Amino acid sequence: MLALLKPFRQGITELSAEKKVTVSKIIPLVNCMKNAIEHSIAPSQPVRDFKTKFLQSMSKRFGENEENPLLAVATLVDPRFKRIHFTDVNANASAIRTASEMVLQNQRQQAGDSASQRMPQSEADAENTLWSYHDNLLATVPVASAQADVLNDVPVELQQFLSQPPCDRKDDPFKIWKTVKDVYPNIFPIAHKLSTPGSAIPCERLWSKAGRLADEDRNRLDPKKIGKLCFLQSVISNSKFSLK
């Protein structure tokens, strides 16, 4: 049972991180969790029954993620994932059409030529069982030639972007776009606009910290001072030094 729930725990832990957790990570992460659970060993009938119901519940809750325009386009324009995690061909085509319309709209607003740039791809992390499905997709799916017919009617800039292999999933998408934003000037605003947090957990953590500071014994603290104290706590927790 613990082995069955391990991928789910890894996924929740990753979604609860403070950095690099954007909505573009939801579709790939859900697919990786489902694949890891499907391939997990169920030694007894009760565990097999639980596994079946658990997968059914995940399909019911996350089955329409690819049909969500926000999640689909955000995943499509993420240099780490692009379209390799789309299991629904129609959803993939719809996301490409939506992204194409957004690119054309940006092209009408600003002039600029684009050129393709190949990003380096690091070795897959074989030890991470949660992301092994993603790593296998990178190794087996020919990104440049897959669904070439879908790309016939899309802008050249989007064709060039989707024809390049995805970047390493461990890379920071914001740093990647800082490097290639001049190469894809009309896709960058879309990716920047859709780089919203994938969960509200970091915000909830901040509220919890503020609640511990502004308790009943400190109810006269100035709001600005509470903000400064929260900032200092975040600096200390993210630094390599300690005040001890």
Q: Let me know whether 73 and 170 are in one domain.
A: yes
Q: Is 174 found in the same domain as 133?
A: yes
The answer to whether residues 141 and 211 belong to one domain is no
Q: What percent of the chain has pLDDT over 70?
A: 81
Q: Is residue 103 part of a domain?
A: yes
Which residue has better confidence, 117 or 238?
238
Q: Mean pLDDT over all residues of the chain?
A: 76
Same domain, residue pair 92 and 168: yes
> Could you tell me which of 5, 65, 54, 76 has the C-alpha nearest to residue 31?
65
Examine the domain organization and report whether 99 and 206 are in the same domain. Answer: no
- Structural tokens at position 27: 């579709």
Instruction: Examine the pLDDT at 64 and tell me if it is beyond 50.
Output: yes
Q: What would the pLDDT profile of 134-164 be if each residue is shown by its tens digit?
A: 877 777 765 444 455 456 677 888 888 888 8
Tell me whether residue 85 is in a domain. yes
Both 214 and 146 in one domain: the answer is no
Q: Are residues 133 and 221 in the same domain?
A: no
Task: Summarize the confidence of residues 121-132 as an average pLDDT.
Answer: 55
96 vs 217 pLDDT, higher one? 96
Structural domain count, the chain: 2
Domain hosting residue 228, numbered range: 201-237
What is the Cα–Cα distance from 23 to 77, expressed in whole angstroms?
11
Report pLDDT for 87.
84
Given a cut of 50, is residue 121 above it in pLDDT? Answer: no
- Tell me the mean pLDDT in the region 214-224: 78
d(CA 242, CA 239): 8
Q: What mean pLDDT do residues 195-214 have? A: 75
Task: Look at residue 243 and tell me if it is in a domain.
Answer: no
Same domain, 119 and 231: no
- Residue-level pLDDT at 142: 59
Q: What pLDDT sits at residue 124?
A: 40
SS (H, E, C) the chain: CHHHHHHHHHHHHHHCCCCCCEHHHHHHHHHHHHHHHHCCCCCCHHHHHHHHHHHHHHHHHHCCHHHCHHHHHHHHCCCCCCCCCCCCHHHHHHHHHHHHHHHHHHHHHCCCCCCCCCCCCCCCCCCCCCCHHHHHHHHHCCCCCCCHHHHCCCCHHHHHHHHCCCCCCCCCHHHHHHHHCCCCCCCHHHHHHCCCECCCHHHHHHHHHHHHHCCHHHCCCCHHHHHHHHHHHHHHHCCCCCCC
Specify if 133 maps to a domain: yes
Paired with 197 in beta bridges are 22
| Cα–Cα dist 124/22, whole Å | 21
With CA atoms as reference, report the closest residue to 146 among 86, 236, 71: 86
Do residues 90 and 208 both lie within one domain?
A: no
The residue among 236 and 30 whose pLDDT is bigger is 30
Residue 145, in any domain of the structure: yes
